Amino acid sequence: MDKTGLADPGPGYPWSGQVACFDASGRIIPCTGTGQDGQYRTGRPWPAPRFELPGEGLVRDRLTGLFWPRDAGNMAWPMTWDQARAWVEERNQEGFLGHGDWRLPGRRELLALTSLAQARPALPPDHPFRGLFQHWHWTATPAASAPGHCWRVHLEGGRMFPGPCESEHMVLPVRGSSWLPPETPELAALLGRAWPEPRFESSGDRVRDRLTGLVWSGQVLPEQGAASWQEALDAAARTEGWRLPTIWELESLVDASRAWPALAQGHPFGPGLDGLWSSTTSGYDPAWAWVLYFGRGSVGVGHKPGRHFPFILTRIAQEKGQPGE
């Protein structure tokens, strides 16, 4: 634990919360040698306990440092994105829970509150929230994929997709700041945070994301067609020093200011990139795994047995003298 009370410094993305490993039918299996998220458990570890109650009606997430209202049903009805922003501003004017700096969370901030290994709700098992409606919740992030669309997170299962800003959804406001990487270059500049240019640095067959430090193979596999989830894991196991990334590692690549694909200009993964398998099993149904849809930057799922998606690989560990050292 550092002096701020946050989780120990580590990767620039959170752990998913997954501790178990599963086969393609969803049965629990031993993790050793699977190459799954539950084996490596990468990402910034969760503190224990994950949450604290610092004041009347408040929850502090000790992983990110962000503050949330404990009563997640304070807004008792769904509303449009514009109405949601106005509702938050009204709460600020009245000093909601003793504070006037509430805002809609960014897409990455709201997703980081979830546990993608859990469902109904997709929150860490020790969460203290009350009155949570397990449906879509608005974020502050406009979607680059279509005019008039905004990002939402579904708190029953953890999916994150854009939808029309005129749709009516729930709101869970937030306050404070965190170590999470900025979603866009514009937000990085606004926050006075680093956004490297160029973002990706190549060295041989390896590509380093200079925002997170993760090292990637620039090749999308298989060279033609798609693979099942188990085929992707098996291929990674045959490739020494590489593994299938977790859903949070894939999400960390997203530049939310862009679409088709939602990746920074100069990315190494070629044209037409969209759905990619992760090593993280869905908490909603373990016969499904998490997929990053890079066209829009959406976090969704795919049925493990089907040959639905290609995949990319990331390093098991950084090696001396290699990018990402």
pLDDT at residue 318, rounded to an integer: 41
pLDDT at residue 320, rounded to an integer: 32
Q: What average pLDDT does range 88-108 have in this prediction?
A: 97
Contact, 74 vs 271, CB < 8 A? Answer: no
**How many whole angstroms from its chain centre is CA 221?**
22
Tokens 């546990």 -> residue: 115
**How many whole angstroms from its chain centre is CA 93?**
31
Torsion of CA 280, 283, 287, 289, to 10 degrees: -30
What CATH number was assigned to the domain covering residues 187-315? 3.10.100
pLDDT of 99-117, one tens digit each?
999 999 999 999 999 999 9
Q: Which of 141, 134, 135 is nearest to 162 (CA)?
A: 141
Q: Which residues pair with 275 in a beta bridge?
A: 293
Distance between CA atoms of residues 125 and 117, nearest Å? 10
pLDDT of 185-196, one tens digit each?
999 999 999 899
pLDDT of 234-289, one tens digit each?
999 999 999 999 999 999 999 999 999 999 988 999 888 999 999 999 999 999 99
Query: What values do phi and psi take at 83, rounded to 5?
Result: -65, -35
% of the chain residues with pLDDT over 90: 87
Which two structure tokens, joined as six digits, stand for 200? Answer: 């990706």
Angle at 201 between CA 199 and CA 202, to 5 degrees: 145
Angle at 247 between CA 58 and CA 159, to 5 degrees: 60
For residue 321, pLDDT beyond 50: no
Q: What average pLDDT does range 15-22 have in this prediction?
A: 97
Distance between CA atoms of residues 313 and 221, nearest Å? 9
Q: Where do the CATH 3.10.100 domains begin and end in the chain?
A: 187-315
Distance between CA atoms of residues 325 and 147, nearest Å? 40
